[in-house]
Amino acid sequence: MFQIVFPIFGLATVNFLKAATIANIEVFANMNIAVPIPFVYSVPLKPLSNFPDQSVFNVTQCLEWYMYAFGPETNQEDRDYFGTNTGLPNERKGMLQDGLLTTPCNEIGRNVPYFEELPKWGNMEFNETMNEYVDRHFHYISLNPVNVHNKNEVVDGTELIPDGMIKVERASKEQFNYTLSINDVTYF
Protein backbone atom coordinates (compact mmCIF):
# COMPACT_ATOMS: atom_id res chain seq x y z
CA MET A 1 0.00 0.00 0.00
CA PHE A 2 2.86 2.43 0.81
CA GLN A 3 4.27 1.73 -2.65
CA ILE A 4 1.17 3.31 -4.19
CA VAL A 5 0.47 6.09 -1.66
CA PHE A 6 3.97 7.64 -1.45
CA PRO A 7 4.44 8.09 -5.24
CA ILE A 8 0.95 9.59 -5.56
CA PHE A 9 1.62 11.86 -2.56
CA GLY A 10 4.98 12.83 -4.10
CA LEU A 11 3.38 13.69 -7.46
CA ALA A 12 0.65 15.69 -5.75
CA THR A 13 3.26 17.60 -3.73
CA VAL A 14 5.33 18.34 -6.86
CA ASN A 15 2.21 19.57 -8.72
CA PHE A 16 1.24 21.76 -5.75
CA LEU A 17 4.75 23.28 -5.56
CA LYS A 18 4.74 23.80 -9.33
CA ALA A 19 1.39 25.63 -9.20
CA ALA A 20 2.54 27.77 -6.23
CA THR A 21 5.80 28.65 -8.01
CA ILE A 22 4.02 29.63 -11.22
CA ALA A 23 1.55 31.78 -9.26
CA ASN A 24 4.41 33.56 -7.47
CA ILE A 25 6.32 34.06 -10.73
CA GLU A 26 3.27 35.83 -12.20
CA VAL A 27 3.08 38.06 -9.13
CA PHE A 28 6.77 39.00 -9.42
CA ALA A 29 6.56 39.41 -13.20
CA ASN A 30 3.73 41.94 -12.84
CA MET A 31 5.39 43.86 -10.00
CA ASN A 32 7.14 47.18 -10.56
CA ILE A 33 10.72 46.85 -9.43
CA ALA A 34 12.53 50.11 -8.68
CA VAL A 35 16.16 49.99 -9.75
CA PRO A 36 18.09 52.77 -7.97
CA ILE A 37 20.85 52.94 -10.59
CA PRO A 38 20.22 56.62 -11.49
CA PHE A 39 20.43 57.61 -7.82
CA VAL A 40 23.66 55.71 -7.24
CA TYR A 41 25.60 56.02 -10.48
CA SER A 42 23.85 58.86 -12.36
CA VAL A 43 23.44 56.66 -15.42
CA PRO A 44 21.58 58.67 -18.11
CA LEU A 45 18.33 56.81 -18.69
CA LYS A 46 16.60 59.56 -20.71
CA PRO A 47 16.61 57.56 -23.97
CA LEU A 48 14.72 54.75 -22.21
CA SER A 49 11.88 57.13 -21.33
CA ASN A 50 10.64 56.95 -24.92
CA PHE A 51 9.86 53.24 -24.91
CA PRO A 52 6.10 52.71 -24.81
CA ASP A 53 6.35 49.85 -22.30
CA GLN A 54 7.60 51.35 -19.03
CA SER A 55 7.49 48.05 -17.14
CA VAL A 56 11.27 47.52 -17.13
CA PHE A 57 12.57 51.07 -16.81
CA ASN A 58 10.29 53.78 -15.46
CA VAL A 59 12.17 57.02 -16.08
CA THR A 60 10.14 59.56 -14.18
CA GLN A 61 11.87 62.69 -15.38
CA CYS A 62 13.95 63.37 -18.44
CA LEU A 63 14.02 67.16 -18.16
CA GLU A 64 17.50 68.59 -18.70
CA TRP A 65 18.14 72.20 -19.57
CA TYR A 66 20.92 74.76 -19.33
CA MET A 67 20.75 78.49 -18.78
CA TYR A 68 23.10 80.82 -20.60
CA ALA A 69 23.91 84.51 -20.52
CA PHE A 70 26.25 86.75 -22.42
CA GLY A 71 28.90 88.95 -20.89
CA PRO A 72 28.76 92.76 -21.15
CA GLU A 73 31.41 92.79 -23.91
CA THR A 74 29.74 90.12 -26.09
CA ASN A 75 28.74 91.54 -29.47
CA GLN A 76 25.83 90.47 -31.69
CA GLU A 77 28.10 88.45 -33.99
CA ASP A 78 29.27 86.33 -31.02
CA ARG A 79 25.65 85.89 -29.87
CA ASP A 80 24.61 84.71 -33.33
CA TYR A 81 27.55 82.30 -33.55
CA PHE A 82 26.70 80.78 -30.15
CA GLY A 83 23.08 80.44 -31.27
CA THR A 84 19.95 79.04 -29.64
CA ASN A 85 18.40 75.63 -28.98
CA THR A 86 15.00 75.62 -27.29
CA GLY A 87 14.51 71.88 -27.84
CA LEU A 88 11.66 72.54 -30.25
CA PRO A 89 11.84 71.64 -33.97
CA ASN A 90 13.36 74.28 -36.25
CA GLU A 91 14.42 76.49 -33.33
CA ARG A 92 18.14 75.72 -33.30
CA LYS A 93 20.87 77.99 -34.60
CA GLY A 94 24.61 78.51 -34.29
CA MET A 95 26.82 76.27 -32.15
CA LEU A 96 23.78 74.88 -30.33
CA GLN A 97 22.06 73.59 -33.48
CA ASP A 98 23.84 70.22 -33.51
CA GLY A 99 21.34 67.70 -32.19
CA LEU A 100 23.84 64.86 -31.88
CA LEU A 101 23.59 64.60 -28.09
CA THR A 102 19.88 65.40 -27.80
CA THR A 103 17.13 62.90 -27.07
CA PRO A 104 13.37 63.39 -27.16
CA CYS A 105 11.65 63.89 -23.81
CA ASN A 106 7.96 63.03 -24.16
CA GLU A 107 7.25 64.37 -20.67
CA ILE A 108 7.87 67.98 -21.72
CA GLY A 109 7.50 67.71 -25.51
CA ARG A 110 11.06 68.84 -26.30
CA ASN A 111 14.44 67.46 -27.15
CA VAL A 112 16.81 67.58 -24.20
CA PRO A 113 19.09 69.09 -23.25
CA TYR A 114 17.79 72.47 -24.36
CA PHE A 115 19.10 75.96 -23.63
CA GLU A 116 17.32 79.07 -22.35
CA GLU A 117 18.79 82.54 -22.11
CA LEU A 118 18.66 84.26 -18.70
CA PRO A 119 16.26 87.13 -19.64
CA LYS A 120 13.66 84.60 -20.78
CA TRP A 121 13.67 82.90 -17.38
CA GLY A 122 14.91 85.50 -14.94
CA ASN A 123 12.80 88.14 -13.26
CA MET A 124 14.09 91.33 -14.84
CA GLU A 125 12.83 93.48 -11.95
CA PHE A 126 15.78 92.22 -9.94
CA ASN A 127 18.29 92.44 -12.82
CA GLU A 128 19.74 89.23 -11.42
CA THR A 129 22.68 87.09 -12.47
CA MET A 130 22.34 83.39 -13.21
CA ASN A 131 23.64 82.53 -9.74
CA GLU A 132 21.11 84.86 -8.12
CA TYR A 133 18.35 83.26 -10.22
CA VAL A 134 19.31 79.75 -9.05
CA ASP A 135 19.69 80.90 -5.44
CA ARG A 136 16.24 82.51 -5.51
CA HIS A 137 14.63 79.33 -6.86
CA PHE A 138 16.46 77.08 -4.39
CA HIS A 139 15.11 79.32 -1.63
CA TYR A 140 11.58 78.93 -3.03
CA ILE A 141 12.01 75.12 -3.17
CA SER A 142 13.32 75.02 0.39
CA LEU A 143 9.98 76.38 1.60
CA ASN A 144 8.16 73.27 0.30
CA PRO A 145 7.76 70.31 2.68
CA VAL A 146 9.51 67.17 1.40
CA ASN A 147 9.16 63.57 2.52
CA VAL A 148 12.78 62.38 2.27
CA HIS A 149 11.72 58.76 2.76
CA ASN A 150 9.84 58.76 -0.55
CA LYS A 151 12.36 58.87 -3.42
CA ASN A 152 9.52 59.14 -5.97
CA GLU A 153 8.16 62.35 -4.49
CA VAL A 154 7.99 65.26 -6.92
CA VAL A 155 9.14 68.56 -5.43
CA ASP A 156 7.42 71.61 -6.92
CA GLY A 157 9.81 74.07 -8.51
CA THR A 158 12.75 71.78 -9.29
CA GLU A 159 12.03 72.12 -13.02
CA LEU A 160 13.00 75.81 -12.70
CA ILE A 161 16.57 74.95 -11.66
CA PRO A 162 18.92 74.53 -14.64
CA ASP A 163 21.25 71.55 -14.84
CA GLY A 164 24.04 73.97 -15.68
CA MET A 165 24.83 77.57 -16.56
CA ILE A 166 27.03 78.95 -19.32
CA LYS A 167 28.31 82.52 -19.39
CA VAL A 168 29.61 83.34 -22.86
CA GLU A 169 32.15 86.14 -23.31
CA ARG A 170 33.29 85.37 -26.88
CA ALA A 171 32.02 82.85 -29.46
CA SER A 172 33.59 82.61 -32.90
CA LYS A 173 35.59 80.19 -35.05
CA GLU A 174 38.78 81.61 -33.62
CA GLN A 175 37.85 81.90 -29.95
CA PHE A 176 35.32 80.47 -27.53
CA ASN A 177 35.60 82.07 -24.09
CA TYR A 178 33.03 80.84 -21.58
CA THR A 179 32.43 79.91 -17.96
CA LEU A 180 30.54 76.71 -17.26
CA SER A 181 28.84 75.79 -13.99
CA ILE A 182 27.19 72.39 -13.52
CA ASN A 183 24.47 71.83 -10.95
CA ASP A 184 25.14 68.26 -9.84
CA VAL A 185 23.50 68.55 -6.43
CA THR A 186 20.31 66.57 -5.99
CA TYR A 187 17.62 68.23 -3.91
CA PHE A 188 17.48 65.40 -1.36
Sign of the torsion formed by the C-alpha atoms of 71, 141, 186 and 108: negative
Q: CA-to-CA distance for 49 and 52, rounded, in angstroms?
A: 8
Map out the domains of the chain as residue ranges. 37-182
pLDDT tens track for 133-163: 888 888 888 888 877 777 667 778 888 888 8
Residue 19: what pLDDT? 77
Sign of the torsion formed by the C-alpha atoms of 187, 86, 89 and 83: negative
pLDDT tens track for 30-61: 665 555 544 444 555 556 655 665 555 555 56
pLDDT tens track for 81-103: 998 888 887 778 888 876 667 77
35, β-bridge pairs: none
| pLDDT band for position 120 (cuts 50, 70, 90) | low
In degrees and rounded to multiples of 5, residue 170 shows phi and psi of -140, 140
Neighbouring C-beta atoms of residue 96, cutoff 10 Å: 19
Q: CA-to-CA distance for 96 and 177, rounded, in angstroms?
A: 15
> Which residue type, as a one-letter code, is found at position 160?
L
Q: Quick check: 131 pLDDT over 90?
A: no
- Distances 21 to 25, 57, 99, 130 between C-alpha atoms, Å: 6, 25, 48, 57
Q: CA-to-CA distance for 136 and 123, rounded, in angstroms?
A: 10
Residue 186: what pLDDT? 57
Q: Quick check: 169 pLDDT over 90?
A: yes
pLDDT tens track for 60-83: 567 788 899 998 889 999 999 998
Residue 40: what pLDDT? 43
Q: CA-to-CA distance for 39 and 60, rounded, in angstroms?
A: 12
Residue 125: what pLDDT? 58
